[in-house]
Amino acid sequence: MKKILISAAAILSALISGCASQPLSTFDIFHPQDLNALVSSGQYVQKADNFFVLNDSSLSMADNYLGVGYPAQPSPTKLSVEKEILNRINLTIPDLKLTSSIRSFGFGPCLDWGFTRLNQAPTPYSKSAFGSGIDTLACASGGTPMDSGIEATTNDLSTTTGNIAVLILSDGEVDSAPVAEVKALKQKYGDRLCVYTVWVGNEQEKYGQTLLNQLSDMTICGFGTTAERISSPDGMTKFVQSVFLKGTTPPVADCSALDDDADGINNCKDKCLNTPKGAHVNQFGCWIVDVKFDNDKSNIKPQYYRELDNAVTVINQNPGVNIEVQGHTSSTGTVEYNQRLSERRALAVKNYLSSKSAHAGRTLTARGYGLTQPIDTNETEEGRANNRRVQLEVLQ
């Protein structure tokens, strides 16, 4: 049996951060898109039969949300954004026969002094019933025992039949990474289970997004996204469609025989499907400028000018195309260090390209991603070398 000791200071903190100190926010009206036509036409059929929510109601979710996509008065907390996301999901779900449930994790008065609380027991889904369940997420307090929430969800699912979608909303600031608990969940429910995560965090908490993506990837069929990506009606529609529906259209052509952007990497392996013609790509089909930097340096050495000049040629052949210069690193070093390093290197490449091309000066932006978007394993030197890259991506 797992034992968790709670100090008097932790209990006092939970009391202080109770419901009364967390005002409600009023969000702008959300206008959902209607998915019922896709279902009634037969283009799509139901994929998930059970929809179980695991909501982060720990103290960090009482902090203000500093991202975009959720204008509200007063400024929303991360918890209120979580609730708004669930409301928007509820508005967008088409007419389906589902079982739904909501569970939260944290500690203190918001969770009846437990580490997890079943806010809404598994029940036949309706918009009104699910909305009532969302309303029970009244406040945020305590630590972040996501592992306890996942263990309890494993039991909640015991009476289900059919396919299961588990949605975890969090900023990823957990007490301990619940990798073993997700593995146990997947082992028990197998191919019936898909885990989806929504990162509701601020820029300084990007490492939490990496953790959530790791958890969703463990179930293969699931995926991770962010609050910002699903904030618009279009983004939310795509998310709900991906979780609850699957197409009935005939299978597409074998992706291994297709190369839509003619970069020499077939569509199955290509992670960057809109690379401009003539760009140098890596084994994943992404436009890479093969520039190596010295340790803790961002200056470009003359031996790499030819590679960058080739990129300038490609940019000049595609005037008006908006391109993001992306700096990436391996996982060696701290999150903060790698973030700053990736930004400096991305900016160095952008400045070089801009100095060589008038088109580039108008259409390039630089952004560092640190260690958050690896394209290869960080367990080997070869994989880490692939992750330490400057990548050019055409923005849609």
Q: Which residues pair with 349 in a beta bridge?
A: none
With vertex at residue 367, the alpha carbon angle to CA 364 and CA 289, rounded to the nearest 5 degrees, is 65
CA distance 330 to 378: 6
Our CA angle for 64, 65, 70, nearest 5°, is 130
Helix (H, G, I), strand (E, B) or coil at 320: coil
Whether domain 255-394 has CATH 3.30.1330.60: the reply is: yes
What pLDDT is stored for residue 162 in this prediction?
Answer: 97
Q: Which long-range contacts (CB under 8 A, 24 or more apart) does 118-123 make?
A: 118/152, 118/156, 119/55, 121/156, 122/50, 122/52, 122/156, 122/159, 122/160, 123/99
Any idea what the Cα angle at residue 164 is, between residues 159 and 170, rounded to 5°? 110
- The answer to whether 25-247 and 255-394 have equal CATH topology is no
Give how far the C-alpha of residue 162 lies from the chain's centroid of Cα atoms, to the nearest Å: 25
Series of mean pLDDT values for 10-residue runs along the chain (396 residues): 41 43 80 95 95 97 95 95 98 97 95 95 97 96 96 96 98 93 96 97 94 94 96 97 89 82 90 85 83 77 89 86 89 92 92 84 88 90 85 79
**Cβ contacts of 253-258, under 8 Å, gap ≥ 24:** none
**Three-state DSSP state, 29:** coil
| Distance from the first to the final alpha carbon of the chain | 51
Structure pTM? 0.61
User: Residue 282: what pLDDT?
Assistant: 81
Please tell me the predicted confidence (pLDDT) of residue 295.
66
Contact 209, 372 (CB under 8 A): yes
- The identity of residue 302, as a single letter, is P
At residue 102, the pLDDT reads 98
pLDDT at residue 249 in the model: 64
Name the token pair of 290: 């093969």
Cβ contact 379:310 at 8 Å: no
Say whether 241 sits in a helix, a strand or coil: helix
Q: Spelled out in words, what is the top-level CATH class assigned to the domain 25-247?
A: alpha beta
Sequence ranges of the domains in the chain: 25-247, 255-394
Give the pLDDT confidence score for residue 340 in this predicted structure.
Answer: 94
Which pLDDT does position 22 carry in this prediction?
A: 58
Structure tokens, 9: 């200071």
Confidence (pLDDT) at 237: 97
CA distances to 6, 371, 387 from 237, rounded to whole Å, are 42, 29, 32
Distance CA 113, CA 72 (A): 30
Per-residue pLDDT at 2: 40
d(CA 81, CA 201): 10
